[in-house]
Chains A and B, each alone.
Chain A
Amino acid sequence: MNISITINGKAYDHDIEPRISLAQFLRENLDLTGTHIGCDTSGCGACTITLDGKAVKSCTLLAVQADGCEITTIEGMANGAQMHPIQEAFREHHGLQCGFCTPGMVMTAADILQSNPKPSEEDIRHGLEGNFCRCTGYHNIVKSIQHAAEKINT
Chain B
Amino acid sequence: MIPAKFDYIKVSSIGEAVTLLDKHGFDSKILSGGHSLIPAMKLRLSRPELLIDISGISGMDGISEEGDKIVVGANCTHQKIASSKLVKEHLNILAQTAGCIGDVQVRNRGTLGGSLAHADPASDYPATVLACDAQIIAEGKNGSRTIAATDFFQSIFTTALADDEIITSVRFPKVANGNYQKFFQSASRFAVVGVAVVKEGDAVKVGITGVSDTPYRASAVESAYDGGSSAAAKAVHGVEVMSDHFADAEYRSHLAKVYVKRALEA
Contacts and interface: CB of A to CB of B under 8 A. Distances in A.
A144 B2 CA distance: 35
Given A43-B187, A129-B189, A64 B8 contact: yes
A54 B103 CA distance: 12
A18 B108 CA distance: 21
21 contacts: A18-B51, A19-B6, A20-B2, A21-B2, A41-B42, A45-B105, A54-B79, A54-B108, A56-B108, A57-B109, A60-B34, A60-B35, A60-B38, A62-B34, A64-B53, A65-B55, A67-B10, A129-B103, A129-B189, A130-B104, A130-B105
Interface of B: 1-8, 10, 31, 34-35, 38-39, 41-43, 51, 53, 55, 79, 83, 102-106, 108-109, 187-189
Contacts of A70: none
Contacts of A55: 104-105, 108
B108 A40 contact: no
A64 B53 CA distance: 10
A64 B228 CA distance: 53
Contacts of A20: 2
A11 interface: no
Interface of A: 1, 17-21, 24, 40-43, 45, 48, 51, 54-57, 60-62, 64-65, 67, 108, 111-112, 115, 127, 129-131
A140 to B, nearest CB: 20
B79 A65 contact: no
Contact of B104 (A24, A42, A111): A111
Smallest CB-CB A-B distances: 10 pairs: A130-B103, A18-B8, A129-B103, A54-B108, A19-B3, A57-B105, A130-B105, A55-B105, A60-B38, A64-B8
Given A45-B105, A60-B109, A108-B105, 17 more contacts: A1-B8, A21-B38, A24-B2, A41-B42, A45-B103, A55-B104, A55-B108, A56-B109, A57-B105, A61-B109, A62-B34, A64-B53, A111-B104, A111-B108, A127-B104, A129-B102, A129-B103
A138 B179 CA distance: 31
